[in-house]
């Protein structure tokens, strides 16, 4: 089992590198309080906008808060939003997608609604939903989930439509299996590979979306130390204090890169049909 695991990682090095980086980030998020951080919301007016030093590794922000602590705690916000959206949107999208692909008369209705949602640019749709609700992390997660669901639905529906023509589904129908059983036992397991790959990409997209939303002031509440919020606060002073933007930006970029590498690798490994790259 373990040797097979390592063989897999050697065959798909992007999965190994991306996965390792993700693991480090997850550990950072979990152990943030024990990594030499202090309270990320603690204000210290005497130590405002200090450049990086031995005392403040990433410097301090306009209120004297320790940027290193804020960035490390920001990992929690990003990963919580990312994983929540990835799990929620693939789960809900898969259910709707299987239904759309399997129940003919519902297909047209569902896909028209999904087309409508997809014709609203992602950030704008998320902004609109957030403007409607109370400003909170839950709102951000919900808004990005709603934005991502249509993409999952379209993917799953496509897979289901091609699956239902396959011989093994016809065989199940002939054998007298109920539509419910065919959906759950025969169709759904065959969409899992595509869902895992899509879920990985959604993880990256939603981390980026949360950072963008927070950066423009429509994301998680400003008090929360999220990478987007830290950058938003650094906006006014970045020309003389670039560290206010540089550190959260670096963490954000490395995270997205890790997720994309993981996604590309998993796609090559799990679902050769989806692979466009050689």
> Is residue 39 a contact partner of residue 28, using CB atoms and an 8 Å limit?
no
Tell whether residue 231 is a contact of other proteins (CB under 8 A): yes
Among 27, 39, 55, 115, binds other proteins (CB under 8 A): 115
One of 125, 141, 172, 266 touching other proteins (CB under 8 A): 125
Q: Binding residues for other proteins, how many (CB under 8 A)?
A: 43
Cα 167–chain centre separation: 36
Q: With respect to other proteins, which residue has the nearer C-beta, 135 or 192?
A: 135
Q: Over the chain, what HEC string results?
A: CHHHHHHHHHHCHHHHHHHHHHHHHHHHHHCHHHCCCCCCCCCCHHHCCCCCCCCCCCCECCCCCEHHHHHHHHHHHHHHHHHHHHHHHHHHHHHHHHHHHHCHHHHHHHHHHHHHHHCCCHHHHHHHHHHHCCCCHHHHHHHHHHHHHHHHHHHHHHHHHHHCCCHHHHHHHHCCCCHHHHHHHHHHHHHHHHHHHHHHHHHHHHHHHHHHHHHCCCCCCCCCCCHHHHHHHHHHHCCCCCHHHHHHHHHHHHHHHHHHHHHHHHHHHHCHHHCCCC
Of 40-48, 113-121, 162-170, 181-189, the window that binds other proteins (rule: CB under 8 A) is 113-121
Contact pick of 44, 120, 192, 274 for other proteins (by CB under 8 A): 120
CB of residue 221 vs other proteins: minimum separation in angstroms?
Answer: 13
| 124 counts as binding other proteins under rule CB under 8 A | yes
Q: Of residues 216, 222, 236, 273, which one binds other proteins by CB under 8 A?
A: 216
- Of 71, 1, 62, 51, nearest to 211 by C-alpha is 71
Does position 71 interact with other proteins (CB under 8 A)? The reply is no
Binding pattern for the stretch 175-204 against other proteins, x by CB under 8 A and - elsewhere: -----------------------------x
Distance (Å, rounded) from C-alpha 148 to C-alpha 257?
20
165 binds other proteins (CB under 8 A): no
- Does residue 266 bind other proteins (CB under 8 A)? no
The yes or no reply on residue 236 touching other proteins (CB under 8 A) is no
Q: Does 132 bind other proteins (CB under 8 A)?
A: yes
The reply to whether 247 sits near other proteins by the rule CB under 8 A is: no
Among 13, 33, 51, 121, binds other proteins (CB under 8 A): 121
Stretch that binds other proteins, among 31-39, 67-75, 95-103, 127-135 (CB under 8 A): 127-135
Of the candidate residues 160, 169, 195, 249, the single one contacting other proteins (CB under 8 A): 249
Quote the Cα angle for 61-230-32, to 5°: 90
List residues near other proteins by CB under 8 A.
112-113, 115-117, 119-125, 127-128, 130-132, 204, 208, 211-212, 215-218, 231, 235, 238-239, 242, 245-246, 249, 252-253, 256-257, 260-261, 264, 276-278
């Amino acid at each position: 089992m373990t040797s097979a695991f390592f063989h897999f990682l050697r065959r798909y090095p992007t999965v190994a590198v991306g996965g390792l980086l993700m693991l480090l980030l997850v550990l950072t998020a979990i152990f943030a309080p024990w990594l030499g951080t202090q309270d990320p919301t603690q204000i210290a007016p005497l130590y405002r906008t200090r450049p990086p030093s031995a005392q403040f590794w990433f410097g301090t922000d306009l209120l004297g808060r320790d940027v290193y602590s804020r960035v490390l705690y920001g990992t929690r916000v990003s990963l919580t939003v990312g994983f929540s959206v990835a799990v929620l949107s693939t789960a809900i999208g898969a259910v709707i997608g299987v239904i759309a692909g399997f129940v003919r008369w519902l297909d047209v209705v569902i896909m028209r609604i999904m087309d409508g949602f997809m014709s609203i640019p992602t950030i704008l749709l998320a902004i609109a939903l957030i403007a409607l609700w109370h400003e909170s992390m839950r709102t951000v997660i919900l808004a990005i989930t709603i934005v991502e669901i249509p993409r999952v639905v379209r993917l799953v529906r496509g897979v289901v439509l091609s699956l239902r023509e396959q011989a093994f589904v016809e065989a199940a129908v002939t054998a007298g299996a109920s539509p419910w059983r065919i959906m759950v036992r025969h169709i759904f397991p065959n969409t899992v590979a595509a869902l895992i790959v899509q879920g990985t990409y959604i993880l990256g997209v939603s981390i980026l979306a949360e950072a963008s939303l927070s950066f423009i002031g429509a994301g998680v509440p400003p008090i929360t130390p999220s990478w987007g919020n830290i950058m938003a606060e650094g906006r006014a002073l970045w020309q003389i204090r670039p560290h206010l933007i540089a550190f959260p930006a670096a963490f954000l970029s490395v995270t997205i890169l890790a997720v994309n590498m993981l996604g590309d690798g998993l796609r090559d490994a799990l679902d050769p049909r989806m692979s466009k790259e050689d």
